[in-house]
Structure 1
Amino acid sequence: MNLEWLKGIYVPILTPMKEDESVDFEKLRKQVNFIIDGGVHGILAHGSNSEFYMFEDDDYEEIFKVILEEVAGRVPVIMGIGAIRTSKCVKLAKLAERLGADAVAILQPMFLKPTDEELYYHFKTIADSVKELPTLLYNNPRIGYTLSSDLVERLARDVRNIVGIKDSSGDINQLLEFIRKTRDLKFKAFGGKDTLLYSSLNIGAVGGVCTTANIFPELVTSIYNTYVDGDLKESLELQFELNPVRMSMDKASFPVATKDMANINGMDVGKPIKPNHASPSGVVESMRKEMAKAGLLKG
């Protein structure tokens, strides 16, 4: 399984919406081209910032088909899978395979408190259903628990097409353990915290899945590109440039800030899907100020 393409900056692409809460496919296509033109190395469709949990099956499929069509092979596209039921995840994995996804990324089940044995069966069953499709684990503590390093190591060793992980824990020690325990395998770890991209690369991550690359793709990709080019000082300075902007998003509710910041910069991606609402004016102004300080505010 050739995985040379599995590295760099991947974007958990946002989903533009119309006033009636239908998907704005024209703007979705525009977003695809904006981030590719900005230099990203790949796209994660149906990541947590895409509001994937808000969509019915038909929209879920159509969104992915439109992204694939607009990308037209220019960068790899990974389908995120976040269903709770194992059989539903299998169905989505097979959909991804049929539509031509380059990989799938499986979020741990929400609301539950499964044991490692239950999680092992869950991830293995999904991966085994699409044996030739590269499969990534997606560790997100927003679910209420994190994947253990022992579980990740076991899956990486036992299941041939489980080839990597996106770790959004923000815990550099946990990411380090994922990397340490799988370092003798062809297993690739991505940092999922924009503010820790430089740090993640320093401990062996192959890239990052960064929501701010929806809005500032050139800046985010430059952190990675300068790092792999060996200019560590410049990479760190670019990380310092991004961090206050990214941290200003924490004042907003999840996942509202991504659309807030995109709209501040004139991208007109619509509102978050209810029950979420756009952030209050004070939160928006705080983000605007940090963007202006960093020279990232258009106009």
Structure 2
Amino acid sequence: MFLRKSLIWKCLGWRVFGRGVKESRCSSSGGRLDLTGIYPPIVTPFNQMAKVDYQQLESNIHRWSKIPFRGLVVQGSNGEFVYLTSEERVEVVRRVRQVLPEGRLVIAGSGCESTEATIAMTHNMAEAGASAVLVITPCYYRGRMNSAAFVHHYTQVADCSPVPVVLYSVPGNTALELPADAIITLSHHPNIIGLKDSGNDITRIALIVHKTRNQDFQVLAGSAGFLLATYSIGAVGGVCALANVLGEPLCDLEKLCLGGQWAEARELQYRLIEPNTAITRKFGIAALKEAMGWFGYYGGPCRAPLLPLTEAEKGELRSDFVSNGWL
């Protein structure tokens, strides 16, 4: 089933003709899937044998379901998707959809290096129950990944996708940014509904929001470190690694911003910056999984070649949480 050579994709508009594939869930009247809200890009829990631990995944989902998240992002960067097989990637999404309450969105990472593989993975994620797909920028041949290449890639994927597509720019991992002009062009596609931007350039994000407003295009902050700033310039939500452990405070920050309580929101944002930096830019996924254990979740080990934190790093990580009042 996965990326079979015999799989032939034939696209006409938004419809994909193939086994089990349905029409896009986008409304023909122009309505789009509402992405408003906070999403944790959830980790993939592994056991000590480096196998996916589905029992611990289910346990984490039950806890996250008690927090007013809009949904979960599954198989994003924090899910270590580059270290999973194609079968594992899809099975994790299927298990999440089975456990997560109805009404909560499942946004599944389906990006691969080639357009053909991305289309096939998108098809598989839709069959597994994804509400939408998050498509990271291809980056291996980054010297040739210009606006024209990206517009061609995402257009082909969106034309063939049975569910809405969310663009994903994460220069910290890919060493390239999805150009703003490409995003603006792609916002006109009826099956491309938004962007997760994990860069730190708030001016760029503001420009994208401004230039795509007439397309009903939805921008999501890709980090808790600048969540308040992106709400202030028109973003609709955030996909934040820190939400894996501090989900309720991030939902509180969303509520304060939407309610115009900017002074209170600013104080809360201050307390989130150092913990967020620690689990994203400073120490990465191993730190996020370590912190999950402090808050009653299962993080577990990362897959090789990612290494666990040293004792010194654990101490520094804990200090970033303690000094801001979270532990």
User: Normalising to structure 2: TM-score of the pair?
Assistant: 0.86
Is the counterpart of residue 125 in structure 1 residue 156 in structure 2?
A: yes
CA distance in 2, matches of 1:55, 1:250: 20
Residue 29 of structure 1: CA displacement?
Answer: 0.9
The 5 Å alignment of 1:258-297 reads 258-297=288-327
Aligned with residue 249 of structure 2, among 219, 223, 247 = 219
CA distance in 1, matches of 2:284, 2:321: 19
The 5 Å alignment of 1:169-188 reads 169-188=199-218
Is the counterpart of residue 82 in structure 1 residue 134 in structure 2?
A: no
How big is each residue's C-alpha offset from its partner over 1:145-176, in whole Å with a ceiling of 9 and x where there is no partner?
A: 1011110111112x211010000011111211
Aligned length: 295
Opposite residue 117 of structure 2, the aligned amino acid is K
> Partner residue of 2:80?
51
Is the counterpart of residue 237 in structure 1 residue 271 in structure 2?
A: no
CA distance in 2, matches of 1:250, 1:181: 29
SS at structure 2 position matched to 1:60? helix
RMSD: 1.5
CA distance in 1, matches of 2:242, 2:279: 10
Residue 266 of structure 1: CA displacement?
Answer: 4.5
> Partner residue of 2:16?
none
Cα distance 1:53–1:96, how it changes in 2: closer, same or farther (>3 A)? same
Is the counterpart of residue 102 in structure 1 residue 131 in structure 2?
A: yes
Is the counterpart of residue 6 in structure 1 residue 6 in structure 2?
A: no
Residue 185 of structure 1: CA displacement?
Answer: 1.2
Range with bigger deviation, 93-102 or 44-53: 93-102
Residue 87 of structure 1: CA displacement?
Answer: 0.6
Range with bigger deviation, 85-94 or 68-77: 68-77
CA distance in 2, matches of 1:96, 1:59: 11
SS at structure 1 position matched to 2:40? strand
Aligned with residue 179 of structure 2, among 148, 152, 156 = 148
CA distance in 1, matches of 2:280, 2:52: 25
CA distance in 1, matches of 2:137, 2:180: 14
CA distance in 2, matches of 1:101, 1:170: 28
Residue 58 of structure 1: CA displacement?
Answer: 1.5
User: Normalising to structure 1: TM-score of the pair?
Assistant: 0.94
Opposite residue 121 of structure 1, the aligned amino acid is H
> Partner residue of 1:25?
54
Contact 2:108 2:130 in 1 (8 A): yes
CA distance in 1, matches of 2:294, 2:257: 29
- Structure 1: stretches of 5+ with no match in the other structure: none
> Partner residue of 1:112?
141
CA distance in 2, matches of 1:188, 1:81: 19
How big is each residue's C-alpha offset from its partner over 1:234-282, in whole Å with a ceiling of 9 and x where there is no partner?
A: 1111111211221233574433221122134443321111111111111
CA distance in 2, matches of 1:139, 1:250: 15
> Partner residue of 2:236?
206
Identity of aligned residues (%): 26
Aligned with residue 162 of structure 1, among 169, 192, 217 = 192
Opposite residue 94 of structure 1, the aligned amino acid is H
- Structure 2: stretches of 5+ with no match in the other structure: 1-26
Contact 1:10 1:209 in 2 (8 A): yes
